Structure 1
Amino acid sequence: MAGTEVSSYPPLFREEKGSIHGGVEGEEGVKVGGGSSESDPLPVMDLECMEMEKLGEVCREWGIFRLVNHGIPLSLLSQLEDHAKRLFGLPFESKEAVFTTPVSYFWGTPALTKSGVALSQTPQNVNWVEGFNVPLSQLPLLQTQDPIIASFRLILEEYGRHLSRIARTLFEAMAKNLGHDPKQYESSLDESSGIVRVYRYPLRPNRDHASHMEVHTDSSVLSILNQDEVGGLEVLKDGEWLSASPISNTLVINVGDMMQVISNDKYKSVIHRVKVAKERERLSICYFVFPEENTVIKSSKYRPFSYNDFRSQVQEDIKTLGHKVGLKRFKINDDSD
């Protein structure tokens, strides 16, 4: 995406200010340094030929894996990326004006809304990212005369149907591995809650391998990522940062916080971040799916809570502390902040 107009960036991103600290304190207290240069360490799962025992092992030991034979046409992924690049190339003010409901535009911190940036945040610790937040169940409400946006909506609807299929298939397999009856856990994965976030990580010409998305875990049950050829996703495994290389026609599946609770901590909500080199922008498209908002999630490791409770707490922590605390807030016999 060379030659991008600077006017398409949020104002804060148009001129570098301040400095980036050498490390960021991770959610689990791990000091963040440089990423590993290892090529692609992620375990691989085949959706057409699911190895149940391996799936359970991967979710316990990694919390993340690469998915092949997922059934999404490569042409659909390409069309979605092309449309996203065109929309991100619009002037910043146009994106703010056009994308209000149900698709919204954000920059900074996706867990919040609109501009997303918490009041406590400074240019040094704002996530260097912008994006579109797309609640898939509300896409039919996106009425527009613009042919590009109308085509974008149709592509997203088709993409969303594939993602819902994949998430349901994986969740049912994971539930069986845990000894659960998937039918009793239907409310734990609410397909109508599925959202797609389309991210653009702008250039940072004055920063070598600067952080674009801080160290975090996903709040979802499952997350499904399609990343472009630029790469930058890093996952924490056994105290070491490993790079998840971009590989064409594969998806990256994250176990999220809600799945960790459902599994009673048997499965791991993976800690990850995004670091992108200064030469190129990065585009990624991620699907998140959650439990029904008011369904109470029960576990011997956590006090009972609903996803609505969890989301509200996360947003409050980001606004007041500048970062997500997450599952620690709900852990039984855990006095940490």
Structure 2
Amino acid sequence: MSHSYSFDSYPPRFHLPNSPLYHEHEEDTDAADTLPVIDFQCMNEEKEKLHEACADWGIFRLVNHGIPTSLLNQLHETSKQIFEFSFDSKQKLFSSTPITYFRGTPALNSKGLALQQPQNVDCMEGFNVPLSQLPLHTHVDEDVDDSLPASFRYLIQEYGKHQSRLAETIYKSITEKQNEALEDWSPYLSISTGFIRVYRYPAVSQLTESSWGMDAHTDSSLISILNQDLVGGLQFYRQGQWLHVRPIPNTFIVNVGDMMQAISDDEYKSVKHRVRLNKHKERLSIGYFVFPDDNTVIQSPGYKPFSYSDFRTQVQQDLKTVGYKVGLQRFRRSG
């Protein structure tokens, strides 16, 4: 069933991104979705396929993930209702909780909280949810009806438990395949860093500046898991082309992030991706991101030793000085 929104629920006007990734001129392609498909229930039998997906694509579709369809539907519907609140209401909706509202793409700390707003913002809004902090807070602003936010908190917490389970299993399968002798796969993965971002992308007909909801970028995470509705718009970059990711019900899109690329010494690819706005329909997506602990040092032949804290600080500095994320290039060994 379609869901309409009042215009006053939208944030103020957005601005065009300034990243050089945005200004690339490769053509889009409408080629059929050929993403590798990984069956979560057969992960142990599909380690070679998983390895190839991470190395050759940096992105794959996850099926048979085991998350109840009822939970996914409820979370999507509740999120839509939350986004229908006025812009002013959304800014203070979770003011006494770790959940934070954002518009555009904020620079994040390790818990997924906005630290600063870059000069150029994308045409999207959303909520950051640091999962490890969520159970510690139950209060919502007294001026706002608590029933919907309370439902949202409960659903997102249940969803986060499932996402943590998926991330641990996927990461273990990836690292076991990468190094069969690896006994302790856990040091780089810290489930306590996991956070969820719920995004709403407006219909392009309601904007004038840009048809892009999110600029071309790579994720800073180890692993990102995306749950999207059926509107579409996600694209990823492969072999000189931007490829569309076809929305398929009850499947997730998993992509390798910068930290996984560094740990694997570039064997796995942190895939570049972006979101195109739809001309007629709004788009809702829910992303889960997980990282190493802040001070865990990443040791890799092709990179200088660095921690995720070092990486995040450099990203924030680049956003201030050059206006976009430079990323892993800052940490590569010369020569």
Identify whether the pair has TM-score above 0.5, normalized to the shorter chain: yes
* Native 8 Å contact 1:293 1:308 kept in 2: yes
CA contact (8 A) 2:26 2:240 kept: no
Q: How many angstroms apart in 2 are the aligned matches of 1:110 and 1:254?
A: 20
**What's the offset of the Cα at 1:319?**
2.3
Q: Indicate if the aligned counterparts of 2:265 and 2:301 stay in contact, CA closer than 8 A.
A: yes
Give the aligned partner of residue 237 of structure 1: 238
Tell me by how many angstroms 1:5 deviates. Answer: 1.1
Distance 1:156 1:130, change over 3 A: same
Which aligned pairs between 1:1-337 and structure 2 lie closer than 5 A?
2-13=3-14, 25-26=20-21, 31-50=24-43, 51-100=46-95, 101-112=97-108, 114=114, 117-118=117-118, 120-121=119-120, 126-144=121-139, 146-179=146-179, 183-205=183-205, 210-333=211-334
Task: Output the TM-score relative to the length of structure 2.
Answer: 0.90
User: How far, CA to CA, are the matches of 2:210 and 2:322 in structure 1?
Assistant: 25
| 1:109-161, Cα deviation, whole Å (9 max, x unpaired) | 1324659532x33xxxx200100000001111331361111111111111111
**Unaligned regions of 5+ residues in structure 1, if any?**
none
Q: Distance in 1 between matches of 2:282 and 2:115?
A: 20
User: Does the aligned pair in 2 maintain the 1:208–1:278 contact within 8 Å?
Assistant: no
Letter in 2 for 1:184: D
In the TM superposition, residue 32 of structure 1 has moved relative to its aligned partner by 3.7
Per the alignment, in what secondary structure is the counterpart of residue 20 of structure 2? Answer: coil
Deviation at 1:284, TM superposition (A): 0.2
**Residues 135 and 243 (structure 1 numbering): CA distance in 2 closer, same or farther, change over 3 Å?**
same
Partners of 2:20 and 2:160 in 1: how far apart?
A: 34
Deviates more, 1:300-309 or 1:105-114: 105-114
Larger CA deviation: 61-70 vs 137-146: 137-146
Aligned length in residues: 321
C-alpha distance in 1 between matches for 2:309 and 2:19: 28
Partners in 2 of 1:136 and 1:182 — Cα distance?
28
CA distance in 1, matches of 2:160, 2:320: 30
* CA RMSD across the alignment: 2.1
> What is the identity, as a one-letter code, of the residue corresponding to 1:73?
P
Amino acid paired to 1:107? R
Query: Would you say the 8 A contact 1:209–1:275 is kept in 2?
Result: no
Distance 2:66 2:3 in 1: 31
C-alpha deviation, 1:297, in angstroms: 0.4
In structure 2, the CA distance between the partners of 1:58 and 1:308, relative to structure 1 (3 Å rule), is same
Compute the displacement of 1:182 (Å).
Answer: 5.3
Secondary structure at the counterpart of residue 171 of structure 2: helix
TM-score under structure 1 length normalisation? 0.89
Question: 2:59, 2:254 within 8 Å by CA — same for their partners in 1?
Answer: yes
Unpaired segments ≥5 residues, structure 2: 141-145
Work out whether residues 27 and 241 of structure 2, in 8 Å CA contact, stay in contact via their aligned partners in 1.
Answer: no
Q: Deviations over 1:176-200 (max 9, x none)?
A: 1111655533120100100000000
In the alignment, the residues of structure 2 paired with residue 234 and residue 197 of structure 1 have an alpha-carbon distance, to the nearest angstrom, of 18
Over the matched positions of the two proteins, sequence identity in percent amounts to 50
| 8 Å contact from structure 2 (residues 19, 323) kept in 1 | no
Q: Which runs of 4+ in 1 moved over 4 A?
A: 112-116, 180-183, 206-209
Find the residue that maps to 2:334 and give its secondary structure. Answer: coil
Q: 1:48 is paired with a residue of what secondary structure?
A: helix
The Cα shift of 1:25 comes to 2.9
Query: Does the CA contact (< 8 Å) of 2:237 and 2:272 recur in 1?
Result: yes
1:186 and 1:114, CA in 2 relative to 1: closer, same or farther beyond 3 A? closer
> In 2, distance between residues paired with 1:128 and 1:143?
30
Structure 1 residue 4 displacement after superposition: 1.2
Q: 1:24 to 1:38 in 2, by over 3 A?
A: farther
1:330 partner amino acid:
F
